[in-house]
Structure 1
């Protein structure tokens, strides 16, 4: 990147790319690593769960040496790192043990941001090659009149067909699916 003020866009690709994924137990086969890998994160919201799982995955998780003080009951009952509430207080108050937010309000925020199925589909579309992505988007726009449940099922079927087919029979499989979509529109 240039040192000019406000230039935040990189024009080149990443210089050093990882050839293999990071494995936290590749060189370390200690009991601590095995315990951390088998640790199941519960009692927290989805965002906090992803954060803690990331820390475990990349060996950034630091377990507690001694229990910490709970901010709810003021006792030394917090046994998990990065938590501020003990499991009993979090369950009683129905809040996340890490960020102390109401679990119901977090689920409502997710619903307000958009349907989770559509978010998953959009993330899958980003990983597809350009040709397949445009074809699916064209079919998706044709299906706008149909119900959302039918649309999701049909798109998942199309994605499975795309994964199983090669580039040669790609056009043939989609043309049959486009015909079935046009038949649905006629009915």
Structure 2
């Protein structure tokens, strides 16, 4: 008997075995189940990622209906279930957004919809710049891509670098627009 005191070894195989693997969408083909199955777990450590993927696989995952409060910034920015910290705070502190421990963080590339959204934002930002600034930024981007082979920068660092350069160009553009008003001091009526 396996519950016998001191008997730590079981001599027989388990009594009930599943003949087929569990499928979480076998009888439930609802929109919610399809949505849950397409979730990509990111900004968490390896262990937390495995835990959340297990919940998704065995139909235990309960998505959030409203954003939760972040434990660091106290704003309602946590949109993923089982996470306790928003992505911004997690990236800033370099910790897992689920267990809040500083381990190796797994990030996934954005899916097609997110990538389209980011591309559209970048195009809008580029179109808001004048031609000269736009060409400067495009030269800077091509220079960064050329240095990619020689220098090992992560994608996040490259994105932050490009964003900072774009903001720098935008600020200098606004300064130039404001400097045009310096000629208002000269009046033709003198």
| CA distance, structure 1, for counterparts of residue 70 and residue 23 of structure 2 | 33
Q: Deviations over 1:51-105 (max 9, x none)?
A: 100000000111112111110101111111111101111111110000111024x
SS in 1 for 2:91: helix
Higher RCO (C-alpha 8 Å, min separation 6): 2
**Residue 63 (structure 1) aligned with residue 63 (structure 2):** yes
| CA distance, structure 2, for counterparts of residue 3 and residue 19 of structure 1 | 26
1:14 aligns with 14
SS in 1 for 2:101: coil
- Number of residue-to-residue matches in the alignment: 106
1:97 aligns with 97
After superposition, where does 1:121-160 map in structure 2 within 5 Å? none
| CA distance, structure 2, for counterparts of residue 5 and residue 69 of structure 1 | 48
1:46 aligns with 46
| CA distance, structure 2, for counterparts of residue 3 and residue 56 of structure 1 | 33
| CA distance, structure 1, for counterparts of residue 23 and residue 65 of structure 2 | 24
Deviating 4+ runs (over 6 angstroms): none
Q: Calculate the aligned-residue CA RMSD, in Å.
A: 1.7
> What TM-score does the superposition give when structure 2 sets the normalisation length?
0.53
SS in 2 for 1:32: helix
1:82 aligns with 82
1:31 aligns with 31
Q: Deviations over 1:151-173 (max 9, x none)?
A: xxxxxxxxxxxxxxxxxxxxxxx
Shift of 1:18: 1.1
SS in 2 for 1:103: coil
2:165 aligns with none
| CA distance, structure 2, for counterparts of residue 59 and residue 89 of structure 1 | 29
| CA distance, structure 1, for counterparts of residue 54 and residue 20 of structure 2 | 17
1:2 aligns with 2
More deviation in 5-14 or 60-69?
Answer: 5-14
